[in-house]
Homo-oligomer: A and B are copies of this chain.
Amino acid sequence: MELELKQYSSRTDLALEARELAGGSDMRPIPGVESDTYEEEGIRVTKISITSAEGSQAIGKLPGHYITLEVPALRNKDSDLQDRVATKFAQEFSSFLKRIGIGPDAKVLVIGLGNWNVTPDALGPMVVENVMVTRHYFELMPDQVSPGYRSVSAVAPGVLGTTGIESSEIVQGIVEKSRPELVIAIDALASKSLERVNTTIQIADTGIHPGSGIGNKRKGLTMQTLGVPVVAIGVPTVVYASTIINSALDMMHHHFQKQTANTSQILGLLDNMHENERLQLVREVLGPLGHDLLVTPKEIDQFIEDIANIIASGLNAALHEAIDASNVAAFTH
């Protein structure tokens, strides 16, 4: 309950943002939440572990492991950078699998959540389209598969509005028939800041949960519902208008702080409100007028294509030892 409320009020699917919100601008430590960050050639990698119910409550995210790659320059259409991000993603994903006990031969089913016809929600289906699928070779001619590959299948189950069936039900049915040992679920997320949209990738071992993501995927894809571990890969592709405004007020606060001690003279009561409280206020004002839309950058078509290629390339390298992590792009369309 409390959890849901927080999640709702913070309007972010990123553990990283939830942690920032809870920690305040001075990033004070939160019991039960560990985090660690490094940066390398324009890619910032943050690992967050939520190790207790207390930590989970504090930041409104489930206990588990989260890795975030932040690459602000991803929007510049720099194909060298894209290759480096795919390689870094492959490395981090590969060690993430090891860390949670997934072996190099574990059979994988990649699930691309979302809707082909809604560009900011098409990330999952686009990754599925570019993932190298091998399961049928293992099934039909197991003797002829080269070493260094594992069994990978990939399905985009569609969304409730177009199939009439919860995507979780479809995935359950497919898992029961095809018997993977790990499910990797790709999903588009909502972020609380425009700058993270299409520049951030989150990996988590918590599965996909009711209310997460931007579409109608309500029953969740988790170890509990599917019977196998579920690793979620998410990219924020949209942001609520209300959170754009809230972030802007925050930025104003910091902007004026450099000039005056008395920022509340400029920003009034807005200045002293806690972020969640102020967001609530903004939403009350915008909501009734239908202004609190989910929005996405104008260049979304290109961004989604780029980041889907990065994730598909990265997955291909991370899942098959025969594919060299240093040159992942060659195996993807």
Contacts and interface: CB of A to CB of B under 8 A. Distances in A.
Given A270-B268, A298-B296, A164 B136 contact: yes
Contacts of A245: 244-245, 248
A126 to B, nearest CB: 12
B265 A194 contact: no
A241 B194 contact: yes
Given A155-B170, A266-B270, A134 B164 contact: yes
A92 interface: no
B177 A165 contact: yes
A274 interface: no
Contact of A133 (B152, B164, B281): B164
B156 A158 contact: yes
A177 to B, nearest CB: 4
Given A164-B133, A245-B244, A294 B298 contact: yes
A84 to B, nearest CB: 15
A103 interface: no
Interface in A207-237: 214
A161 interface: yes
Contact of A294 (B121, B248, B297): B297
Closest CB pairs A-B (n = 5): A173-B173, A268-B268, A135-B164, A153-B164, A133-B164
20 contacts: A72-B290, A117-B129, A135-B164, A136-B160, A151-B164, A155-B163, A156-B158, A165-B178, A169-B177, A169-B178, A170-B174, A173-B175, A173-B177, A193-B291, A194-B295, A248-B282, A251-B286, A294-B297, A294-B298, A295-B295
Interface of A: 72, 79, 117-121, 129, 133-136, 151-158, 160-166, 169-170, 172-178, 193-195, 214, 238, 241, 244-245, 247-248, 251-252, 255, 264-271, 281-282, 284-286, 289-291, 293-302, 330
